[in-house]
Amino acid sequence: VKAESTKDLLLIFSDHITVKFKKKNDIYKTVVGRWCTVCREDKDLVKRGGVQKAFLKGSNSSCCQHLQKHWEIYQKRCKDAKIKVYHWAIP
């Protein structure tokens, strides 16, 4: 049931994943979250803020809030995949 309810999220986000980000002086921080594939492919965003800006650590509801930034892409992908748009993702 859970996989069914997050199908729309997986159109924009990766599944949960554990990654290590390098901080200062060869210190790494391990975090769990999801990649926003739209942000990760945005070369300007990555150049300005680093690839970490494309990694979200929040819950599904936080991801829905983030989806609002990519509304047109999300809406099109849902339509193409015949998946219902989640009402919390509507801006």
Per-residue pLDDT of 31-62, as tens digits, reads 999 999 999 999 999 999 888 999 999 888 89
Q: Strand order in 17-22's β-sheet?
A: 17-22, 28-35, 55-56
Asked whether residue 22 is assigned to any structural domain, the reply reads yes
The SS3 call for residue 71 is helix
Asked whether residue 91 is assigned to any structural domain, the reply reads no
- The total number of structural domains that make up the chain: 1
| Mean pLDDT for all residues in the chain | 90
How large is the average pLDDT for residues 57-83? 93
Asked whether residue 26 is assigned to any structural domain, the reply reads yes
Domain of 45 in residue numbering reads as: 2-84
Q: Is 3 exposed, middle or buried (0-12, 13-18, 19+ CB in 10 A)?
A: exposed
Asked whether residue 60 is assigned to any structural domain, the reply reads yes
Question: How far is Cα 56 from Cα 27, in angstroms, rounded to an integer?
Answer: 20
- Whole-prediction pTM: 0.84
Asked whether residue 69 is assigned to any structural domain, the reply reads yes
